[in-house]
């Protein structure tokens, strides 16, 4: 009997089913990475291939197997054989690419050129100087724990790495230096359903290749003191991933969107789990949603440098739980225009809110003319809880947020202005009073303080400011705002 050849039926998970040729079909020639049939053959499914038919990479699933590995492959036994194999076929070795794969006699299984089932180290390309270069446009399914025994993986264009589950598919490398990245690539590198275990897991930098992406699902990093560096990708999207006893994930360079969804970050004491250095730029956003950080004491969850570049309100933390006793955030915090923190636990959520006030004020507001509004006088104090407002000028709240919004403004006050004086109070925007905010009240006949409330809705753009004004319609008698409390909140 000669060597065997089969054609594709399916490329699903597991050993692909193969359909064999009639016995004694012959190969007439080898042209590049193609086989030319020397005689007509009939497939098990009844299809006839004529003599001279060229078997290309689309036809050939597993290529050739030497006679020493004839027999059952997986669960399939419906083999037929080709005779008169040209001598130069054996010289093709472990050739991969657009054509077929020829496995040497030492290979226990036949594997396809674009879908490689990795059950042991010999199923991977041979390491050269400790580097296993994965094929372009190929998917590698890792089954069980694969120890690279001191070697490391380098991805090629459109390489995909996957496993059955992060619980039972694992890649590690005993003997590889902990400071050397286990996986390196300058290309897109989809990963699915596996665990990576090494001192330094990643060195991924697509700076030389445009529009690359890292789309990961169910990828765990376990015991990685340095998860490693990701830089210069168009999109980095993680779903249902985990850092377990792992830290020092650095996102650097220029990235489009970095998004992490339903991911757990369980860090290392004294280490920072996620690092955004000053050299990082996000052209769209950096977003972590529906996730959790467990940061041990002396550790830091996220250190987002205040010098990193990101659009306003595009450093997004949405429904993220921070716990563990360490420092949740460093660098950019909730007060920054870069931040949009919503529904998080363990940190202060961001917003646009302001309060300023004065108590027991004795400074009178000068009323020069009856019926004319004047800005209320006195020294006010801004709240420590203020976000995206500046209250350095007394009785003024200047909006410093990046985006225009609608705000609810509420003013409560206690005022004296002689006896039986009719006063009106308004909120002013950029020095002009807002008529619909007006309220009127009358001081008592005994000179006691009169209490009142003023409120309105105001549209504010960046650097717009709000103040409180008063007018006396009875006389040019000064008014003293003994107590004043102004609260401004954005309506989402």
Q: What is the DSSP string of 41-103?
A: EE-TTS-EE-TT-EE-TTTBSS--B-GGG-S-BTTB-----EES--GGGGGGTT--SSS---B
**Per-residue pLDDT, 114:** 78
Tens of pLDDT, residues 209-242: 999 999 999 999 999 999 999 999 999 999 999 9
Instruction: Please give the order of strands across the beta sheet that includes 82-83.
Output: 54-55, 34-37, 25-31, 82-83
The pairing of strands 272-276 and 25-31 is unpaired
C-alpha distances out from residue 94 to 73, 127, 482, Å: 18, 13, 89
Tens of pLDDT, residues 413-427: 999 998 999 999 999
C-alpha distances out from residue 421 to 53, 453, 474, Å: 106, 17, 5
344-363 burial, b for 16+ CB within 10 Å, e for fewer?
beebeebbbbbbbbbeebee
Work out the burial of residue 446: count CB atoms within 10 Å of its CB; fewer than 13 is exposed, 13-18 middle, 19 or more buried. exposed
Residue 88's region, left for phi above 0, alpha for psi from -120 to 50, else beta, is alpha
C-alpha distances out from residue 407 to 357, 398, 464, Å: 18, 12, 12
C-alpha distances out from residue 376 to 215, 460, 476, 483, Å: 57, 21, 15, 11
Q: Are 409 and 355 contacting, i.e. CB atoms less than 8 angstroms apart?
A: no
Residue 336 DSSP SS3: coil
Strand locations in 305-421 (E): 315-323, 327-331, 339-342, 353-358, 364-365, 374-375, 381-382, 389-390, 397-399, 405-416
**Per-residue pLDDT, 37:** 66
**Per-residue pLDDT, 98:** 28
**Per-residue pLDDT, 112:** 40
CA atoms within 13 A on the CB side of 305: 14
**Per-residue pLDDT, 115:** 84
Tens of pLDDT, residues 44-103: 445 566 777 665 433 333 333 222 222 323 333 222 233 333 443 333 333 232 223 333
Helix (H) or strand (E) holding 484: strand 479-491
Chosen CATH of 115-342 out of 1.10.3470, 3.30.750, 2.160.20, 2.60.40: 2.160.20
Q: Are 463 and 399 contacting, i.e. CB atoms less than 8 angstroms apart?
A: yes
**Per-residue pLDDT, 243:** 98
End-to-end CA distance of the chain: 77
Q: Are 388 and 469 contacting, i.e. CB atoms less than 8 angstroms apart?
A: no
**Per-residue pLDDT, 445:** 79
User: How far apart are the C-alpha atoms of 24 and 121, rounded to whole Å?
Assistant: 34
Residue 338 token pair? 């870069």
At which residue do the structure tokens 């098990």 appear?
44
**Per-residue pLDDT, 418:** 86
Please tell me the pTM assigned to this model. Answer: 0.74
* Fold of the CATH domain 353-491: Jelly Rolls (2.60.120)
Secondary structure of 142-184 in the HEC alphabet?
ECEEEECCCCEEECCCCCEEEECCCCCEEEECCCCCCCCCCEE
User: How far apart are the C-alpha atoms of 410 and 454, rounded to whole Å?
Assistant: 6
Domain boundaries, the chain: 6-92, 115-342, 353-491
Q: What is the DSSP string of 187-229?
A: S---EEEEEE-SSEEEEEE-TTSTT-EEEEEEEEEES-SEEEE
Identify any residues that bridge with 320 across adjacent strands, giving them in sequence order.
291
Q: Identify the segments of the chain with pLDDT beneath 70.
A: 1-39, 41-49, 53-113
């Amino acid at each position: 009997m000669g060597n065997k050849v089969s054609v594709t039926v399916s490329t699903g998970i597991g050993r692909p089913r193969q359909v064999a040729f009639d016995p004694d079909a012959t190969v007439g020639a080898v042209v590049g990475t193609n086989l030319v049939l020397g005689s007509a053959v009939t497939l098990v499914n009844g299809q006839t291939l004529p003599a001279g038919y060229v078997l290309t990479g689309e036809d050939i699933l597993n290529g050739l197997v030497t006679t020493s590995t004839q027999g059952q492959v997986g669960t399939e036994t419906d083999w037929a054989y080709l005779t008169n194999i040209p001598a130069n076929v054996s010289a093709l070795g472990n050739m991969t690419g657009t054509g077929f794969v020829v496995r040497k006699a030492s290979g226990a299984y036949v594997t396809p050129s674009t879908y490689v089932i990795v059950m042991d180290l010999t199923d991977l390309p041979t390491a050269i100087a400790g580097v296993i270069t994965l094929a372009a446009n190929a998917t590698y399914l890792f089954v069980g724990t694969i120890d690279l025994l001191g070697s490391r993986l380098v991805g090629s264009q459109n390489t995909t790495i996957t496993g059955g589950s992060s619980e039972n598919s694992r890649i590690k490398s005993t003997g590889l230096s902990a400071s050397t990245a286990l996986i390196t690539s300058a290309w897109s590198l989809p990963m699915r359903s596996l665990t990576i275990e090494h001192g330094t897991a990643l060195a991924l930098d697509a700076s030389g290749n445009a529009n690359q992406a890292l789309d990961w699902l169910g990828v765990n990093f376990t015991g990685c003191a340095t998860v490693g560096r990701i830089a210069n990708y168009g999109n980095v999207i993680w779903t249902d991933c985990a850092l377990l006893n792992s830290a020092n994930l650095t996102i650097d360079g220029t990235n489009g969107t970095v998004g992490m969804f339903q991911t757990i970050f369980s860090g290392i004491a004294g280490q920072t789990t996620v690092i955004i250095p000053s050299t990082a730029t996000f052209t769209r956003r950096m977003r972590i949603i529906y996730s959790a950080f467990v940061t041990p004491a002396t550790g830091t969850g996220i250190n987002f440098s205040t010098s990193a570049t990101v659009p306003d309100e595009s450093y997004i933390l949405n429904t993220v739980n921070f716990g563990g006793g360490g420092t949740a955030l460093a660098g950019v915090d909730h007060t920054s225009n870069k931040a949009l923190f919503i529904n998080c636990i363990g940190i202060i959520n961001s917003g646009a809110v302001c309060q300023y006030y004065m108590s027991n004020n004795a400074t009178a507001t000068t009323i020069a003319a009856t019926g004319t509004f004047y800005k209320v006088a006195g020294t006010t104090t801004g709240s420590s809880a203020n976000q995206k407002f500046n209250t350095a000028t007394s009785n003024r709240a200047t909006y410093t947020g990046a985006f225009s919004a609608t705000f609810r403004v509420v003013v409560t006050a206690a005022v004296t202005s002689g006896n039986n004086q009719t006063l009106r109070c308004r909120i002013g925007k950029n020095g002009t009073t807002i008529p619909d905010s007006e309220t009127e009240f009358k001081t008592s006949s005994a000179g006691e303080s009169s209490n009142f409330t003023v409120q309105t809705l105001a549209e504010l753009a960046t650097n717009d400011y709000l103040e409180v004004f008063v007018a006396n319609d009875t006389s040019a008698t000064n008014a003293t705002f003994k107590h004043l409390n102004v609260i401004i909140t954005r309506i989402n």
